[in-house]
Structures are given as structure tokens and as C-alpha cells.
Structure 1
Amino acid sequence: MLALQPVDTVAPAFRPEPVTQEEAAAMFRAALGLFGKWELTDDQAATLLDMPVRTYRRWKAEGPGRISRDGCARLSNLMGIHKALRIIFAEARRGYGWIKAGNDAFAGSSALDVMLGGELTDLMRVRRYLDATRGGW
């Protein structure tokens, strides 16, 4: 005779898997392309990634070294910003140009100006704005 077995009906708590170094390196390569589309200087790109310009240039030429948790968060937010812009703007060039255009949501500053504040929260602020604009919130 078969015995009844208890079934666990409680979902386990969500625990996001950490980003692997391979995934982080892929995001870094994608960010390089994005920075080119946004026409950023190396100084600006390094600020967004919170690293010395010299390190940024070395990573750009040779590939990234170990990417920190903060670096992964920055790259993730940049990818989210890019995704939101591609959803909002049917024409990619308009989305790339939006980054440098003044915006009432940022008191007349551009999204790039906000992000160049250098803090992770500055990137998050732009991403949250775009996600809310596209209806992703």
C-alpha cells in the first residue's frame, strides 16, 4: 500500500544568484558598445563605472579584471537603462540622444548629467525614471 507523503506548499524565499564573472564581463563588453552609442568620453565612462580612467582604458583594451559587486550593480543598471530606452523609443538613435538631452524630470539636467554624479544611486534614479515611464513599475 502506498503511504501519503507530505507536500511542502510554502515557496522558498527568493535568493538571487550572484552575477558570475563571465556574466559581468559580458555586461562590460555590452557597456563598451553602449558608451560608444552614447558618445561618451573615457572619463565619463570611468565615472559611470566608478573606476580610474587608467583602469577603464586598460580593461577596454585587454578585457575586464575582476568586477566587484558594486561594478556588477552599475553594469546591471546601465543595461536596464539601455533596455528601457529601446522599449520607449522605436528609433534607437532617439534613445541614444535622449541620454544627453535636458529633461524636466531631472530639473533640466540630462540623464547623463545625473548619472555622472558618480553614485550608484544616480544610475538607479535614471533607471527607475525610465522603468516608470515605460510602465515597468
Structure 2
Amino acid sequence: MLVQVPQTPAEPAVPSITAEEAAAGARAIVNLFEHWQLGDEAACDLLGGISRSTWTRWKSGSIAKVDRDLATRISLLLGIHKGLRYLFSDRELGYAWIKQPNMVFGGSSPLDVMKGGSIFALERIRRYLDAERGGW
């Protein structure tokens, strides 16, 4: 006998992140990029081309509205960080991995892949790390 499975709503219960969540994510990204030793240009690229003035404000602790694209990028970048923390017991090796050439990415570093600007490039690195740690 067939039993109908209850439908899952297509829209999330909370359609957007709160200002507090956005600020917390932005602060975490500022700290992460400091550990990754990224320059301002690379930081702005990874965040989807935000302006340098916005990035400077973030670094000083002033966070404005975060749109859906930026929130997704923050989520992916923090997921990459989490994956590296699982894979490397030595934090510094995890931070350095981002800039190391990797044959999986055709000899490019994960940072070079991510700086391509596409949100899919961030997702590619995130999925690779998830697969490496057996996250599927």
C-alpha cells in the first residue's frame, strides 16, 4: 500500500538571515581572511566583488545589510574553514592549504579557483573538502 509522504515547504521558514547573523558571519570572515593572509583585493573577490570601502568597514566592525548572494558566500567560506579544521589537526597547515598548488584543481591553488569570482567556484572547494572528510 502506498503512503503519501508529507511535502516539505519549498521556502525556508526564515527567508533571510538576521542583521545579527550577518554581522557574526562578517566578523568570522574578517578573522578567517586574516588567518588566510588575504589582501584586500582577494577578500573583495571572494565576497563577490564587494567594494573596498565596504570591506574596510567590515574590518572596522561596521556591517551593513548582507544580501542573499553574500550570505551564501559567507556560508560557503565558513564551510570551507570547517572542512579544513576537520582535515588538519594543525590549524596553520589548514590555513596554508588554501594557497598551495593542488593537482585536483589542475595545479592551481584553491584560492586561485575561488578567486574566479563565481559562487560555484566556492562551492567546488567546499564540496571537495566535504568529500575528502567523508561528509557525504
TM-score (norm 1): 0.88
Counterpart residue number, 2:116: 117
Counterpart residue number, 2:46: 48
CA contact (8 A) 2:76 2:122 kept: yes
- From the superposition, tell whether residues 62 and 29 of structure 1 become closer, same or farther in structure 2 (CA, over 3 Å): closer
Q: Which runs of 5+ in 1 are unaligned?
A: 1-8
AA at the equivalent of 2:52:
V
Between the aligned partners of 1:60 and 1:12, the Cα distance in structure 2 is 43
Q: Deviations over 1:80-113 (max 9, x none)?
A: 0000000011111110000000001100000000
Larger radius of gyration: 1
Between the aligned partners of 2:57 and 2:22, the Cα distance in structure 1 is 16
CA contact (8 A) 2:26 2:58 kept: no
Counterpart residue number, 2:20: 22
Counterpart residue number, 2:29: 31
Number of residues of Structure 1 aligned to a counterpart in Structure 2:
129
Give the secondary structure class of the aligned counterpart of 2:29.
helix
Give the secondary structure class of the aligned counterpart of 2:60.
helix
Counterpart residue number, 2:8: 13
Between the aligned partners of 1:58 and 1:26, the Cα distance in structure 2 is 14
CA contact (8 A) 2:47 2:73 kept: yes
Give the secondary structure class of the aligned counterpart of 1:109.
coil
Q: 1:62 Cα shift?
A: 4.0
- Name the % identity: 48
Q: Which runs of 5+ in 2 are unaligned?
A: none
CA contact (8 A) 2:101 2:107 kept: yes
Q: 1:61 Cα shift?
A: 1.6
Segment drifting more, 40-49 vs 53-62: 53-62
Between the aligned partners of 2:121 and 2:81, the Cα distance in structure 1 is 15
TM-score (norm 2): 0.88
